Structure 1
Amino acid sequence: MSTIPLDYEALRLIWWLLLGILLIGFAIMGGRDMGVGALLPFAARTDDERRVLLNVVGPTWEGNQVWLVLGGGAIFAAFPPLYAVSFSGFYLAMIVILLALILRPVGFKFRGKITDKRWRDAWDWALFVGGAVPALIFGVAVGNVLLGAPFHLDGSMRAFYTGNFFQLLMPFALLCGLVSLAMIATQGAAVIAGRTEGVLAERARRIGMGTGLATIALFAIGGIWVGFLDGHVISSVTAPNAPINPLAKTVDLVRGGWLSNYTTYPWMLTAPALGFGGMALAVLSFWTRWRVPALLATSIGITGIIGSAGLSLYPFLLPSSTVPQAGLTLWDSSSSQMTLFIMLVATVIFLPLILAYTAWVFRVMRGTVSPQSITKNPNAY
């Protein structure tokens, strides 16, 4: 262990930050596709307009899924107990998300096979489900993390989840789902407004102003609601370099405890400021018809909103609502020091390659998509 240049505490903190970056990356990049899908039946009225939207995201959506794979892989390798509890406890929710996501490639491929209007309308709504449902459920999942998941650990650190699917649909969790859906829809509106022209772009701007304002309002309501929730606060001495043992700590339930980090670490207020500021700038950009600033602003807003949830929970990854002491934190649910270091080396090598390739693809695919351009392209959807 002495040959590893970074101590255990630093590696755990780095991987907590990297996990947040990967999840934000998926929300921004995958949110482009989910947002356009969620707006497909509303922003586009004719078959040509809907084909334009499909070809806005069609060439890049598969690459954007890399961020979801990386996020899931990071949870599996860096925080195995978190993976075990969340992916087994939220199993039905995960299945719903996967089934909805499967509709997207199927919809892209099958929609244009038959020219019948009913056939294409059916696949358009399937693409809507593939965009809106994952966005909603991902937000519901975050809400349930803030509420705490119903699980406990036995003496051998085996996890037992005691909840069910319908317990996930609590009012606060549904509010978080609406925040997620609204911000992803705003991201989709920014993509449409920036990559199309004419009446389609104008319609997207109007929708974007509405969803952007809804995101701000719902995010504010969620922040107020969090102040009345019982937050989990570690009252025992934390040993960041200690071996894994979630049951070794003492956890107290404190009303409004999830907001205590903003008092302890005032710099964390940057996250909600980015959330509100980014979405407000996006609304302004839609109103003034700025194309690039709108997409940049929505991405900043998404970063701030997700960052606010993560920083509020710090150092928790998944609190337990039944046995608070069993809640998983980045200090007591990570892989070994050697595993984290080897993964970090691989990340330092491959993540820049992924970023460079993504930037190159979007540069190649840049420009406005119109009915005329897709008519000239025999490979268009």
Structure 2
Amino acid sequence: MVRTTTLDPTGPMYYNGIYHLFYQYNTKGEVWGNIVWAHSVSVDMVNWINLEHAIYPSEVFDKYGTWSGSTTILPGNKPVILYTGIVDDEQTQVQNYAIPANLSDPFLRKWIKPDNNPLVVADESINKTKFRDPTTAWLGQDGSWRMLVGSLRKNKRGLAILYRSRDFMKWTKAQHPFHSAAKTGNWECVDFFPVSLENTDGLDTSVIGEKIKHVLKVSLDDTRWDYYTIGTYDTKKDRYVPDDTMIEGYHGLRLDYGNFYASKTFYDPSKNRRILMGWCNESDVFPTDDIYKGWSGIQAIPRKLWIDPSGKHLVQWPIEELETLRKKKVELRNYKLNKGENIEVQGITPAQV
């Protein structure tokens, strides 16, 4: 029996005709621990092939953990992973990067961590044990890259810290937070992306312009649920401002009202859509139950994500590729069902339809 636990989707992306899903994974047990970046690939996001682990603790800058992050496609069609490394047993967190060892490999099986890691280290103003999960970076109109890192201030104020870079190697922290909210606790797995007000098409993360709103999603460590707001990205001040109708924190909008956490979106240029992926935590009340069961945690079905015409909430739907799993259609029409009557529909074997 393979005993494992599957957690956060960390860097989903579409690259050269292949969908890549990286995710937090414990290779040695059924509960959290021994985390690596597992790697699976697919051509349809329905059928997946498991590959070698992409990232695992091996260097001084991630010896104690390789935690969540994201992927960004740089100019020249070069993917790069941003991830959080744990450098000591006090949970000091830094932001690292990894690049493919061989771009000609269609599956990008092997990733390397260059010697100039870490890219970002927490300064004295940051809680170094609550400083994690860098977002997909976006390119500003000034030619500088930007990314966010989730964190926590005193009095339970959650925040997203903004960093800028001209070359993706040297990053500078902005003087003010990109956004923060009181009494929301630690922000994890922050996600930031644009949505079109004109149609359901997705947008590349770097798109800026009219008829566009922006979404800021945060995973709240206190509740273990994913919340989001819709608002405006002030590119001059490099700040995010939620719309007046938005509620932040525990009473705000959630991406899913079931067991759904640490989600991540990515832009799929093959079908002009934004895809949402999330983790369903199937852990039991007692860890011993998971150990007995032998596993916990699954990746949710990928969903297309867009904004409702009202502009007040997001809409999502399972990806169209799932329809390839459907078999012969069975239909019963124009049959009057009398009170108390039971009928049998031929050609159906599942217990539920």
TM-score range for the pair, normalised by the shorter chain length: under 0.3
TM-score (structure 2 length as normaliser): 0.27
TM-score (structure 1 length as normaliser): 0.26
RCO greater where, 1 or 2, for CA within 8 Å and sep 6 or more? 1
Q: Which structure's residues are more often helix, by fraction?
A: 1
